[in-house]
Structure formats: structure tokens, C-alpha cells
Structure 1
Amino acid sequence: MTDSSLRDAAPEVFWTSRFTPEISDPVPDRATADLVVVGGGFTGLWAAVQAKQDDPDADVLLLEARHAGYGASGRNGGFLSESLTHGHGHGIARWPGEFPRLVELGRRNLAEIAKTVADHGIEADLRLVGKTTFALAPHHLGELAGLAALHERLGDRVTLLDADAARADVRSATYLGGLRIHDSGGLVDPAALVNGLTGLAERLGVRRFDRSPVLGIRRDGGGLVLRTRSGSVRAGKVLIATNAFPAPLRRIRPWVLPVYDHVLVTEPLSASQWASIGWEERQGLTDNGNQFHYYRPTADGRILWGGYDAIYHFGGRVDASYEQRDATHQLLARQFFATFPQLEGVRFTHRWGGVIDSTSRFTPIFGTAHGGRVAYAVGYTGLGVASSRFGARVALDLLRDEPSELTRLAMVRRRGIPFPPEPVRWPVVALTRHQMIRADANGGRRGAWLRLLDRFGVGFDS
């Protein structure tokens, strides 16, 4: 079944396969700008848009190594999360004192995204439909019950599902229960959102140049000089939004772990096939394992199915050849049909992978360099579709002369622990991944290694 279902799957991203991106010229030599944003994904686009909204007269220049949305921004699952802390459980454990404020900021951030999309007519299939997390093992039930109680204390509308209710909602015999979060978060077409933000940035006056990787940054008098393949660019200030890709500011690299995540998309399902699985509200779905799946419908009636494996390559290498991994795509296909055996015979039309910027604390890190003239926000660990806007706002605030409400947050001021250098990094990541798989198979009981990482707020995730 697996081989036949994947036989015709194109090795390309479903979201971006439906149109050809408009790729601009490289930046000319000796260009100048008040602010240069490095990276044309969600963080960079939101930074450029907000910078122009803050000061319409500012000269903002956006540099991208390939084209807007080439990286994770154009190839993710399209889940919008209100959480800025990789989930409420992680947030309250790591930042208990300011957690209520972080929840409020996350809600405001998502509301501002929805408002921007509506106000500017961005057609990105944005739907604030919440999500459901399913229990696949008995120990997940207690975890979801605790999470439900936390969401209720925060004012979220949630429903804790027993096995019958979970299977009545989405018909899979693998579900032992679930947690339906009705109003928090939703879904979006990520590539369409990239296109919409790119158009908005240009209408606001942002100058955008593709095929312009930044190779280095140095101070020069009262400003900065960025070295690109086509020449130098002079800037008053720089905002780095390279995320999983090697940053031109080398001090960022030890904090970011690039891991590869993989995805499948089915052909459009027939009405009878959809009826066989229910899923009437068409919300986003995940399961509750350490290694988890995420899945969702598309606007044209397909199912996107991804996650589970998080593959790190020695040396933190980022290479397009890693985007196709037969073993992982075959594993995902087997797991898909184990979840929905009633869909036997459905074929996958697209398969791809992408690199995610993970940090040891699961959330972005922020900082400055070159006397405060450079700021960065990197490391969203798979939840950057919405929180990248918040990260961009923080980085812009860091470039100002005065502290703000956001730059005073402990989440912004502290960065956690960097990953060790190679050759230590690879075996540490491999050990952690092995122990996570073992914990999932052992009733959720975390061994000594994972407990040690928990003590220091350190982990590995996608």
C-alpha cells in the first residue's frame, strides 16, 4: 500500500507548486538603507511591514538569499498558534511569573495577524478554527486533562473528549481521547500568506531584493556594511531573520539547531471518503506524543500529514538534498494509513521536507550586536507561522534606543543554553531523540537523561 500510494507523489511543496514566485533582481552594489532586513521568510516580512507602519518615511530594504518564503515559511503545515512559548504547559513551567502576560501577548499577536489579512485583502484561507490533540496512549489522557484545566483557567473554550467522543469527531480507532480547543489558533495557507505579506511590504515602500545572500556584516563608522555576492550594502541598522539558515552573525549559530521535518499531501478526497472520517469542523489535528504528527485539510479537500521524525544532520548542515527522505516519507505513509485505514487506495500527490530552526528551550532567542545596531529573532521550533510576527516586533524594539514592554520580558532578555559544538552535538541530539522515542513507548516515563534536560529547561523538538 505504501509504495503504491507514494508512487506518483511529486517531490515538491504543495503550497508553492500552484504558482511561480516572482523573483526580484539581486541587490545592486553600494545600495543604502536606514534598515536592512536579512531574510525573506515570515520574520523578515513581518519586520519589514511593521517597520514601515512604524515610520512610513524609513528606507527599508529586504534581502533574501533565494526568494520570499523559500524556507520554512513557504513549506510548513500552516498551523496558527496563539502560543509564544511552544504551548501553555511549557510556558507556565519556564516563565511562571510572566506567563499570563505572554498568553495575552500571544492572543493579541494572532488577532493582529487576522486583522492585517482582513484589512489588506490577503487571500490566505485563514480560518481560526482551533485544533484537537488526540491521545494515542493511556498516559496521554492525564496529560491532556491537565492541559484542559490550564486552558480553562486562561479562559479558553475547551472540550475534553473520551474515546467515543474523539472517534465520533474524527473516525480513527487509534484515538483513546482528545482535547478540543475551540477558539485558540487555526489554519492558513502559508505560501499565500507569504505572497500577501510580500505584496503588502512592496505597497508600503519596502525595497526587496532576492538572490542576495548576506555573507558578512561589519561596523563602519556610525553604520554597518553588509557583504553580498553582488557587492556591499550600507545600513544604519540591521535585523537578522535567517532562522534555520546560517546567520551572517556567527554568534547566533550555536543557539540554533537546524532539523528537517517532512510532509505528505494526499489527492483531493471524495465526498464519501470525507464522510468515512467525519472531521466536520475541519480543524487542525495533532497527537500528543513526544514525536507527534500534525495534519489538516486543505482548501481543495486534501489532507496534509507531517511531522514525527525530526532529522538532524551532522554539523548542522542545511542542504536542499535533505528535503527528500524516502525512509521518512514511507514511514509517514504507513502511519497515515494506520490512522485512517478506511482511506486505503488514496494516493499522495506531494512529498517534501524543510528545515526548522530549533533552540534548546523550544522558543525563539533574541539579541543585539554591533553596539545595538543589529538585532535578531531566531529559533521558532516549528511554531513560527504566527509567533514570527511577535519575534519581528521584538527585534524592531531592540533596535530602538529605549527599552519597551517586550524587551523587558525575561523570555526576551534570557536565551537559555546553546547547543554544544560538533563532534559532541550530533551524538547528544541522537541520544535525546532515542530517549524521546523510548519514553513514548514506556508509558511516557522519562529516563534519567530527559529528566536532566528537563531540570535545565533544555530539549530537542520540531
Structure 2
Amino acid sequence: MGTTVFERRRPAASVLDRSLAATRRSIFWLDDLPDRPARPPLTGDRVADLVIVGGGYTGLWTALLARRRDPDARIAIVEARTVGWAASGRNGGFCEASLTHGRDNGVARWPEEIDTLDRLGMRNLDAMGADLAEWGIDAEWERVGALSVATEPHQLAWLDEWAQDAAARGEGGVLRLDAAQVQASVASPTYLGAVFETRSNALVHPGKLAAGLARAAEERSVEIFERSPVRRLETTARGVDVITETGRISAGRAVLATNVFPSLLKRNALMTVPVYDYVLMTEPLTAAQRSAIGWHERQGLSDVANQFHYFRQSADGRILFGGYDAVYHYGGRVRAAYEERAESFRTLASHFFTMFPQLEGLQFTHRWAGAIDTCSRFCAFFGTARAGRVAYAAGFTGLGVAATRFAGEVMLDLLDGVPTERTSLRMVRERPLPFPPEPAAAIGINATRWSLDRADHQEGRRNVLLRTLDALGLGFES
């Protein structure tokens, strides 16, 4: 069994102890908001044309896009906690054009429409930036691209294939960097090469994006009710009622944007599972620390291992570092207790200083975690229920910051009942395979996670389980 660079170059325990000593369990992106207005809970009976369950990115984009389609519609959002408190406020802020969690995943599942999916994904990313500008949302949008780095020799062939495929298709903005070029961009002794995607990625401040979308929605007469968990849906002659403990909204149409949380539709009960992701945020770097690592172009970064890391800079000069561990808990529940996992944070700190030994002495200020809505095809799925009166989207699997906007357009198309280019996609029309009930779910998910880790230790070679999943269309590559 081989070792990875993170095992061969472990920093001293004292370095990790000091770096983690002052962390607090808190989400930097939400702490960094200038204000977070309190919104009332839903009380009494109300009427709307469209009611949206969920006040994260999916729900907020859907509301704003619905307003654009119909300036006179009565639109309401019902949120269980507060706007953006879950995945929308906890992610890394990477906005990727891909709608399929990377082109390889899309090619494996929908090869005949991958070119259309690529085009629609880039159009969606462009539209996202245009919408933020139109609505005056300062979400720290940066169209800076992304570097995908190799940290093991066998990964260089993957980068070569990636760049060669892009060149063969005439895709611009995909650059293959050798070791010297990537070191000149970001100085890490672990970086052996990279692919730089210059056009298909942007960065945002996740908290400011959620807050800005909510403000823009309210400025356009969308009502937002917070601290109002929805208990059930009831079909009515008019459409559907969304019911909380203290109120009810009767609407002609509804959108379910509940992400990782239990679906209000029985048909979706086994379609997603929560997989926990862990994140650290550093203190702001000094000028000397910044000079030591370079990284002046501020690209988003990730490595290309199966258990990969993602990292980026904040506007005030911090580094966010997350990923690697992806933890599923038996029973598939979302629990605040799962967010505190000391071994995951210590592993991240160790890997951080392996990548950037020149930053030893830097401290982490924030640690947090969140549940990713994982589905078996690793990208969002869509559908309708209740005679076409309810639309839903879920299963973004950690790559939904931009894709949630596309999901809003899809769900509105489905509710309108008029065929569009989006709704004609097999990717939109097909549902993924559900996860099995327990204990099979825990056994399968954790065996897959173990197998992906072993592949990283065996020069990428996939074992029988992974090859079987690949053959069944259930395989995953980062």
C-alpha cells in the first residue's frame, strides 16, 4: 500500500496544536455579514400564486426568476430557520459552470447531450454574474478561474488527458501548467502540475450572496418568512397548501427547495443522503506570508485526488481550506452534533501545512461543517408532483452555488408546463437511483468512501467495488 504526500510530509504536532488553539465553531461567511435582518414567522392564513419552501440559494433564485417572468405574481418563501443558514452559508463559494459535477460525470451519464449541458452551464454562469450586477448585489463576485493541481505523479496523466480533451473539442480557456508554471502561480512544494480553467469558474462570498438575493427578492415584493418549518403539503382544488405549526399559505403552485433536509414528498425520501464536509478558515495573512506563497491571481484551488481539498482566498486575505473527509452517519440524519469532529479539523490542518509549510505559525480562527445533499448521480435532479403543481430540485452534491440558479429556471419551466430546451434534457427528465434503506446505505456509502481512499493510495487504481459502481453508472470521480 502506497502513501500520499500528506502522509510523507506531516507537520509537527506542535504546529497543529498552535494553529487550532484559537478556533471557534462558527461560520465565517455568516459572521462577516454587516447585518442579518430578522424576518417574521408565518402566522395565520395567506394566499399566494407561488410558495417556495426553503430560503437558501435554490429558493431565492427561484423567487427572483419567477418575479422576472411575472411582475404581478404573489410570491412567498417559507424558511425553517433563517435565510442562508445551512448549505448556502457554509460552502466554499465556488461557482462552477458545470451542471453535472464536472464534465466527466456528465459524459458518463448523458454523452449525447454533454455539449448542450456545457453550453447551458456556461450561459447560466454568465447570467448569474449579470443578475448580481443588475440587482446591485455585492457578493464579492470574482471571475478568477480555478486551478486543479496534481500532488502525486500518477495524477499528471489525468491533467494531460483533461487538457488534450479540451483542446480537441476547441474549448478555450483550459491551460495545462507544468510544475514550474504552477509553482510560479501558487508556491507549494506539493504541486507537480495543474490545469487552469480561466473562464468556467467564479468565486463569491456565500453569506453575502444569500443575503443579497434575499434583499433583492424583498425589494421586488417577495415575502420571506423565517423560523417557520413546514410540516406538510395538502393538495387543494386551487393548488397546494404549505402548512407550518402557526400558519398556512394557499397557492396555485409550490417549489420545494429543501436541499439536504427530509423531503415533503414520500417519493424523494431515499433520493438524497447527508454527507458532512468540514472547513477551516485562517486568520488574515501578513504581507510576508502572502509573498511566501504567491497566489496573487486569487484563483480558486482544488486538488484532483478522489478525497480532494478545496481552498480559496477571502477578500480580507484569509484562506479557506476544506474537503477531504466526507462523513456519512448511520440513519442519514442531519444533526448539529455531527458538525464537531476534531479528527477532521486536525486532518485538514495537517494537510494545509503540508501544502504550505512556509505558513507554519498561521492560526485558524473559524471551524465549521455542513451537510451536503448527495444523490447517486452526483448532480441535481428535478421533478414535479401533485398533478404538476409542485416542482422540486435536490441532490447538488456539493457543487450547487451556480447550479441552483439553473435549477430555479428548470422548476419554473416545469410548473409552466411548456417544453423548453432545459426540460427536454434527459438529465432533467431522468431521476437517479435511490439509496437503499439502512443498514445497506451506511455499509455501501462507507465502503465506497474507503475504496476511494485506497485508490488515492494505489496510484488511482480502482478496486472491484468502484469498478462495479462505474459499470452501473453509480461511480464517482472528483
In structure 2, how many angstroms separate the alpha carbons of the residues matched to 1:321 and 1:49?
Answer: 34
- The one of 72, 93, 97 equivalent to 2:108 is 93
Q: 1:158 Cα deviation (Å)?
A: 2.0
Partner of 1:329: 345
Q: Return the letter of the residue paired with 1:53.
A: R
Aligned: 1:24 with 2:57: no
Q: 1:88 Cα deviation (Å)?
A: 1.3
Deviations 1:393-442 (A, max 9, x none): 10111111222221110000011211111121001111000000001100
- The one of 116, 128, 147 equivalent to 2:143 is 128
- The one of 48, 68, 72 equivalent to 2:83 is 68
In structure 2, how many angstroms separate the alpha carbons of the residues matched to 1:344 and 1:113?
Answer: 38
Partner of 1:428: 444
Deviations 1:227-269 (A, max 9, x none): 2121322121110000111122232121111111110000000
In structure 1, how many angstroms separate the alpha carbons of the residues matched to 2:164 and 2:51?
Answer: 44
Aligned: 1:106 with 2:121: yes
Please list every run of 5 or more consecutive structure 2 residues that lacks an aligned counterpart in the other structure.
1-14
Partner of 1:48: 63
Deviations 1:342-374 (A, max 9, x none): 100000000000111111111101011111111
3-state SS of paired residue (1:316): coil
Q: 1:461 Cα deviation (Å)?
A: 7.8
Q: Is the 8 A contact 1:170 1:277 kept in 2?
A: yes
3-state SS of paired residue (1:375): strand
Q: Return the letter of the residue paired with 1:188.
A: V
Q: Return the letter of the residue paired with 1:88.
A: R
3-state SS of paired residue (1:236): strand
- The one of 205, 212, 236 equivalent to 1:196 is 212
Q: Is the 8 A contact 2:238 2:251 kept in 1?
A: no
- The one of 299, 314, 335 equivalent to 1:283 is 299
Q: Is the 8 A contact 1:313 1:426 kept in 2?
A: yes
Q: Is the 8 A contact 1:295 1:306 kept in 2?
A: yes
Q: Is the 8 A contact 1:29 1:231 kept in 2?
A: yes
In structure 2, how many angstroms separate the alpha carbons of the residues matched to 1:435 and 1:457?
Answer: 16
Q: Is the 8 A contact 2:274 2:374 kept in 1?
A: yes
In structure 2, how many angstroms separate the alpha carbons of the residues matched to 1:335 and 1:239?
Answer: 40
3-state SS of paired residue (1:317): coil
Q: 1:222 Cα deviation (Å)?
A: 3.3
Q: Return the letter of the residue paired with 1:243.
A: N
Q: 1:155 Cα deviation (Å)?
A: 2.0
Aligned: 1:178 with 2:194: yes
Q: Is the 8 A contact 2:53 2:256 kept in 1?
A: yes
In structure 2, how many angstroms separate the alpha carbons of the residues matched to 1:322 and 1:25?
Answer: 29
Q: 1:205 Cα deviation (Å)?
A: 1.1
Q: Return the letter of the residue paired with 2:250.
A: R
Q: Is the 8 A contact 1:156 1:184 kept in 2?
A: no
In structure 2, how many angstroms separate the alpha carbons of the residues matched to 1:391 and 1:150?
Answer: 28
Q: Is the 8 A contact 1:358 1:461 kept in 2?
A: no
Cα RMSD of the aligned pairs, angstroms, is 1.2
Aligned: 1:146 with 2:158: no
Q: 1:23 Cα deviation (Å)?
A: 2.4
- The one of 416, 423, 426 equivalent to 1:400 is 416
TM-score by length of 1: 0.98
Deviations 1:288-340 (A, max 9, x none): 00000000010000000000011111111101222221110011000000110
Q: Return the letter of the residue paired with 2:70.
A: D
Partner of 1:9: 23
Between Structure 1 and Structure 2, how many residues are aligned? 462
In structure 1, how many angstroms separate the alpha carbons of the residues matched to 2:288 and 2:418?
Answer: 59
Q: 1:460 Cα deviation (Å)?
A: 5.8
In structure 1, how many angstroms separate the alpha carbons of the residues matched to 2:423 and 2:335?
Answer: 34
In structure 1, how many angstroms separate the alpha carbons of the residues matched to 2:170 and 2:391?
Answer: 32
> Bigger CA drift: 87-96 or 234-243?
87-96
Q: 1:455 Cα deviation (Å)?
A: 1.1
Q: Is the 8 A contact 1:266 1:350 kept in 2?
A: yes
In structure 2, how many angstroms separate the alpha carbons of the residues matched to 1:353 and 1:64?
Answer: 20
In structure 1, how many angstroms separate the alpha carbons of the residues matched to 2:204 and 2:462?
Answer: 34
Aligned: 1:78 with 2:65: no
Partner of 2:12: none
Q: Return the letter of the residue paired with 1:13.
A: I
Q: Is the 8 A contact 2:147 2:300 kept in 1?
A: yes
- The one of 351, 374, 386 equivalent to 2:402 is 386
TM-score by length of 2: 0.95
Partner of 1:227: 243
Aligned: 1:306 with 2:322: yes
